[in-house]
Every structure is written in structure tokens, then in C-alpha cells.
Amino acid sequence: MDVSNNTVLKVLNCSNNNLSALNVSNNTLLTGLYCDHNNLSTLDLSNNSNLKVFMCGYNNPLTKINLKNGNNSIITDMYANNNQNLTCIQVDNVTNANTYTGWLKDPTASYSTNCFLSVNEIQKQQFKIYPNPVSEKMIFSEKIGAIQIFDSTGKKIISIKDCLTELNVNLLPIGNYILKGKVVSGNPVTIKFIKK
């Protein structure tokens, strides 16, 4: 579906199709987008600063959504729930996103201000943690510093400046977490882990 020439389009309902890609970057006047029940893996809505309603819950193989459009506060309804593979929703402000009442997502998805790593960053990321899932002590494949651990809602729960090769996580509640930090070479690391 090519809507790139529909520059005055305000509402797009393309639910219940087999769309594998959707580009609405030219549709800057878009206020409503409904794309449930498709085959979409990523969505970039960063150019859609007039968006008020976004419905893409239910049965898409989405892994990431970019909602960082500089105007998240006007989005009254955001349904990204029931997308089992969705891990990250990029937003203007994580704290605000967690307080918006009309926003729904699965607990396995988290809000972040940067979900989309470049190809170079992904290729450089050889860092590993084990065991994963972990019950007590997490061991790192190399020294890592500036460690931050976020829970599944995107809330930062641990911050450590020291460089470590292991970390005791036995006091964390059971759940899904994201670890961010920098290895000794200076490369950033972002990795998911499960506390059992």
C-alpha cells in the first residue's frame, strides 16, 4: 500500500490486511492510524506529529515502534497490546509515556527514547550475559561500566558506574529486564535478560 502521495490524508484504516510494510512518513497531517491484524514488523511514526489515535494492537509481528514525534502528549489513544514480539516503543519521554492513561502495551514491551540501533552498533554488539534466565549472579563476557537496568515498564531500577565482570541480581523481582552500559572499548550495549 503506497500512501506517500496522499499528503493531506488525516485518517488511515488499513486493519485486517496482510501488509508487511507501511510508510506514512509523508503523511504529516495524519491524526488517526489503525493498522491492527497485519504483518508489520516495524513502524516509524516519527514524522507524524499530529497523530492523536494510534491503533496497532492485535496480531502484528511488530518488534519496534517509533512514536518519537515531538508531540506524544496529544496522543489520546495508543494501543500496541497483543503484539507478542514487541519489545520497544520509542517515545519522546519514558516517564510521561508510562503515565498516559489511554496507552496500552504488553508488559514485555518497554518505552525508550532510543529503540533503533544502527546496523554498525548491532554488529559491534558481541557482549553476552549468562546465564540467561538468571536467578542470582549474572556473568558478563567482558567488563562493562555505566550499567543501568530497566524494568519492563522502562523504569530505571539500578545504576552502577563501576566496571564489572559480574553482577548479583538476586534481589530483583522475577521478570523481564533491559541492561544498558558501555564495554571497555566504549561501545554501547543493550541486552535483555530474564530474572527467574
Domain boundaries, the chain: 1-116, 120-195
- What mean pLDDT value characterizes the chain? 88
> Predicted confidence band at 116 (pLDDT cuts at 50, 70, 90)?
low
State residue 128's pLDDT score: 85
Q: Which CATH architecture has domain 120-195?
A: Sandwich (2.60)
**1-116: CATH topology:** 3.80.10
For residue 141, is pLDDT > 70? yes
State residue 99's pLDDT score: 92
Which cell goes with 12?
Answer: 488511515
For residue 120, is pLDDT > 70? no
Q: What is the mean pLDDT of residues 74-101?
A: 92
